[in-house]
A and B are shown apart, each in its own frame.
Chain A
Amino acid sequence: MSTLPEQVRQIIAVELQIDPSRVLPTALLRADLGMDSIAALNILFAAEETFGLPSIDVKSLASITTVAEVEEFLRARVLAQAS
């Protein structure tokens, strides 16, 4: 079974149509991976679906810049959902 970081990286790779090997924790989403606003939303929607999360305030995405931050952002919500 995939871990959360693996699932997140897979979602990012699929949504940005890039090789998963490029999705490193330190990668900058916009500068390194070419993420735009719509792609960011698609990543969020895919994550909501994958992890069964309730609708997330999309404005909170604005401050996220790296893959690791996405993982941390989603991990916090998954844990909150489970508790």
Chain B
Amino acid sequence: MGVSASGRLARVEHPASGSGQAIEAVAARVLSRYLRSTARWGVARYVDERGRALDSVDVRGALASRADGRPLLPVYWGADAIAVATLPFLGPPFLEAARRITFLFDETFGGRVCAGLVNQLGGQSVMLAPAGRPERLEHLSLVLRRGGSFAFAVDGGGPYFRVGTGVASLARALKAFVVPLACAATPAIPWLHRSGISFPLPRCRVTAAIGRPIDGSGPRQTVVEEIQAALDSLGHVVRSPVVPHGERREG
């Protein structure tokens, strides 16, 4: 649980440390080791929304704190979550971002495993009660009161590949910019789940596309449509078989 007894958001020291969560703790460690070994011989390629190569300075800039102090909300499809999770193992830009930005996960098996992974990377995460539970409002209210930058799968829990209004409301409340991300690994093995999630295989090439920041202070429906369009477009970019620019491994 990411909320302490005092009602303040707390760093998830080890979300899978409870007696009933030992499986998640083991799964997080296994996943961490797997991604680390997968990334060892993997390569990362960073591109913008038009498929143009970005270097590590560009990536750092896209995910860095803004000069105006407004927070960032990096968002991605749940299908890309494992590929996104591979990025910190492939180089410093995403590792630095993962340690600076708080991740939001639903209180599910997969969410607890992901939180364990973030914890192992030295990052922070907040667990949210599943949608429909009254506790979710409590957890979200603490997120709002705390403020800051948060990363999350925008279609977590479904419907998948659809942007809901929640992200736009959150961006508006936090006066944040939404940073759409898409990420795909090749080769990867699909997980039999309707979210479309897949696992990178050893020697994979991971392509991450970072879209232009979307100002969350705009009209809610417009923000939703912009995020949807950006994620759809970035998804095509990272899954394009054409490699328009050289690839590199950051390190």
- Residues in chain A within 8 A of chain B (CB atoms): 16-17, 34, 36-42, 45, 58-63
**Beta-carbon nearest neighbor of B174 in chain A:** A38
Looking at the assembled complex, report how far the CB atom of B187 sits from the nearest CB atom of chain A, in whole angstroms: 37
Give 26 CB contacts A-B under 8 Å.
A17-B219, A17-B220, A36-B164, A36-B169, A37-B131, A37-B136, A38-B140, A38-B166, A38-B169, A38-B170, A38-B173, A39-B165, A41-B137, A41-B140, A41-B141, A41-B144, A42-B144, A45-B144, A58-B138, A58-B140, A58-B141, A59-B134, A59-B138, A62-B134, A62-B137, A63-B134
A59 touches B137 (CB 8 A): yes
Looking at the assembled complex, report how far the CB atom of B173 sits from the nearest CB atom of chain A, in whole angstroms: 5
Number of interface residues of B (CB under 8 A): 20
* Across-interface contacts of B173 in A (CB, < 8 A): 38, 41-42
**Beta-carbon nearest neighbor of A62 in chain B:** B134
Q: Roughly how many angstroms separate A61 CA and B164 CA in the complex, as a whole number?
A: 20
* Across-interface contacts of A42 in B (CB, < 8 A): 144, 169, 172-173
Q: Roughly how many angstroms separate A39 CA and B140 CA in the complex, as a whole number?
A: 11
* Across-interface contacts of A36 in B (CB, < 8 A): 164-166, 169
Binary contact readout B130-152 vs A (1 if CB under 8 angstroms, 0 otherwise):
01011111101100100000000
**Residue from B136, B169, B173 whose CB has the most chain A CB atoms within 10 Å:** B169
Q: Roughly how many angstroms separate A66 CA and B88 CA in the complex, as a whole number?
A: 45
Looking at the assembled complex, report how far the CB atom of B118 sits from the nearest CB atom of chain A, in whole angstroms: 22
* Across-interface contacts of B219 in A (CB, < 8 A): 17
A38-B169, A58-B138 known; 8 other A-B pairs, CB under 8 Å? A17-B219, A17-B221, A38-B140, A38-B166, A39-B169, A41-B173, A42-B173, A62-B133
* Across-interface contacts of B165 in A (CB, < 8 A): 34, 36, 39
Total number of residue pairs linking A and B with CB closer than 8 Å: 49
Ranked nearest first, the 3 interchain pairs of A and B with the lowest CB-CB distance are A38-B169, A62-B134, A59-B134
Residues of B contacting A: mostly? helix
* Across-interface contacts of A39 in B (CB, < 8 A): 165, 169
**Beta-carbon nearest neighbor of A39 in chain B:** B169
Looking at the assembled complex, report how far the CB atom of B137 sits from the nearest CB atom of chain A, in whole angstroms: 4
* Across-interface contacts of A17 in B (CB, < 8 A): 219-221
Q: Roughly how many angstroms separate A70 CA and B54 CA in the complex, as a whole number?
A: 49
B166 touches A37 (CB 8 A): yes
Q: Roughly how many angstroms separate A58 CA and B3 CA in the complex, as a whole number?
A: 15
Binary contact readout B219-243 vs A (1 if CB under 8 angstroms, 0 otherwise):
1110000000000000000000000
Q: Roughly how many angstroms separate A71 CA and B219 CA in the complex, as a whole number?
A: 25
Q: Roughly how many angstroms separate A45 CA and B134 CA in the complex, as a whole number?
A: 17
Looking at the assembled complex, report how far the CB atom of B49 sits from the nearest CB atom of chain A, in whole angstroms: 26
* Across-interface contacts of B144 in A (CB, < 8 A): 38, 41-42, 45
Q: Roughly how many angstroms separate A16 CA and B221 CA in the complex, as a whole number?
A: 10
Q: Roughly how many angstroms separate A16 CA and B224 CA in the complex, as a whole number?
A: 13
* Across-interface contacts of A16 in B (CB, < 8 A): 220
Q: Roughly how many angstroms separate A17 CA and B223 CA in the complex, as a whole number?
A: 12
* Across-interface contacts of B172 in A (CB, < 8 A): 42
